[in-house]
């Protein structure tokens, strides 16, 4: 069964979750009315990203589940859709850059960003502490990363090995991240034979200009949809989970066959699992 997926490229307002929630809800309704069964929003779309200190970020952070996820959950139940949206999450005295996954039966899951660049709110957030996982939406299996997570091929590979058909990457890519926007999504899709959706924001915030260039790619690394620079847009594309699961690419039987997933040699990759001498615990600005 094909899944119609939507990626919402939009702006948001720093530190104004109520206004952002209203915009998220409106875009969710628009995409659902267009037939999308999964609607994906950008990193920190609920809260904004360009905070200058941890205390300011904590003021707008919410729990998951919490008041905003409850609002979106009701909309998803009414319209029979799934939604993924970014926010700052508060858990006790911890602060995470997170994405909420909300389903049509009221399910609420979350992902906490693992890899943190020294920019924006990530200067003050705690490193994600939840295992990399894949969520089955009822025939479509998705993996979720956030922005800088896309720089690490290990992340997408683990999601692929866990059965992901589609990898989602909500982002906040500013002008200096143009290569991430234009090179990385197609590469992650191609090397793992999965669909990939990178959803970036637009607008200006805290001295940064966000560039858009959201994209959806198929398992061959070809674009299925692409959003322009500096414009709000909703990308629509179809995902065929069964096609993503057929990892072997046969150009000529017995003469030219490729499988970039099942022909790995993990027994040779031991260096990848050697722990760092000093584990990453966040940036000093915390």
Assigned domain for 40 exists: yes
Assigned domain for 92 exists: yes
Assigned domain for 282 exists: no
Tell me the pLDDT of the chain (286 aa) as tens digits. Answer: 999 999 999 999 999 999 999 999 999 999 999 999 999 999 999 999 999 999 999 999 999 999 999 999 999 999 999 999 999 999 999 999 999 999 999 889 999 999 999 999 999 999 999 999 999 999 999 999 999 999 999 999 999 999 999 999 999 999 999 999 999 999 999 999 999 999 999 999 999 999 999 999 999 999 999 998 889 999 999 999 999 999 999 999 999 999 999 999 999 999 998 998 888 999 976 5
Verify whether residue 44 is a known catalytic residue: no
The answer to whether residues 199 and 5 touch, using CB atoms and an 8 Å cutoff, is no
Q: What is the mean pLDDT of the chain?
A: 97
pLDDT of residue 228: 86
The structural domain count of the chain equals 1
Assigned domain for 255 exists: yes
Q: Report CA-CA distances (Å) from 18 to 24, 68, 113, 159.
A: 10, 9, 23, 33
Assigned domain for 256 exists: yes
Phi, psi at 192, each rounded to 5°: -110, 0
Choosing from 12, 27, 37, 43, which is the catalytic residue?
43
Return the CATH number at 229: 3.60.110.10
What pTM was computed for the model?
Answer: 0.97
Assigned domain for 285 exists: no
Verify whether residue 175 is a known catalytic residue: no
Assigned domain for 286 exists: no
Assigned domain for 195 exists: yes
Reported as a single tens digit per residue, the pLDDT across 154-174 is 999 999 999 999 999 999 999
Range of the domain at 232: 3-273
Verify whether residue 43 is a known catalytic residue: yes
Choosing from 12, 76, 99, 147, which is the catalytic residue?
147
């Amino acid at each position: 069964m094909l899944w119609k997926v939507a990626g919402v490229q939009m702006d948001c307002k720093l530190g104004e979750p109520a206004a952002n929630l209203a915009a998220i809800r409106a875009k969710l309704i628009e995409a659902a009315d267009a037939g999308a069964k999964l609607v994906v929003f950008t990193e920190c779309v609920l809260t904004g990203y360009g905070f200058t200190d941890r205390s300011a970020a904590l003021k707008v952070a919410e729990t998951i589940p919490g008041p905003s996820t409850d609002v979106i959950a009701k909309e998803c139940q009414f319209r029979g859709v799934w939604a993924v949206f970014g926010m700052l999450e508060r858990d006790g005295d911890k602060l995470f850059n997170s994405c909420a996954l909300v389903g049509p039966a009221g399910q609420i899951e979350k992902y906490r960003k693992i890899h943190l660049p020294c920019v924006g709110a990530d200067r003050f957030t705690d490193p994600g502490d939840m295992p990399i996982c894949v969520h089955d939406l009822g025939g479509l299996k998705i993996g979720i990363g956030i922005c800088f997570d896309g720089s690490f091929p290990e992340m997408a590979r683990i999601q692929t090995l866990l059965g992901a058909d589609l990898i989602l990457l909500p982002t906040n890519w500013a002008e200096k991240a143009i290569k991430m926007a234009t090179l990385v999504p197609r590469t992650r899709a191609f090397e793992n034979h999965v669909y990939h959706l990178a959803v970036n924001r637009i607008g200006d915030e805290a001295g940064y200009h966000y560039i858009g260039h959201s994209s959806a790619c198929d398992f061959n690394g070809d674009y299925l949809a692409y959003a322009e620079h500096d414009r709000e847009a909703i990308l629509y594309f179809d995902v065929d989970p069964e096609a993503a699961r057929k990892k072997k690419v046969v150009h000529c039987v017995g003469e030219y066959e490729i499988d970039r997933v099942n022909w790995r040699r993990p027994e040779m990759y031991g260096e990848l699992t050697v722990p760092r001498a000093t584990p990453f615990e966040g940036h000093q600005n915390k």
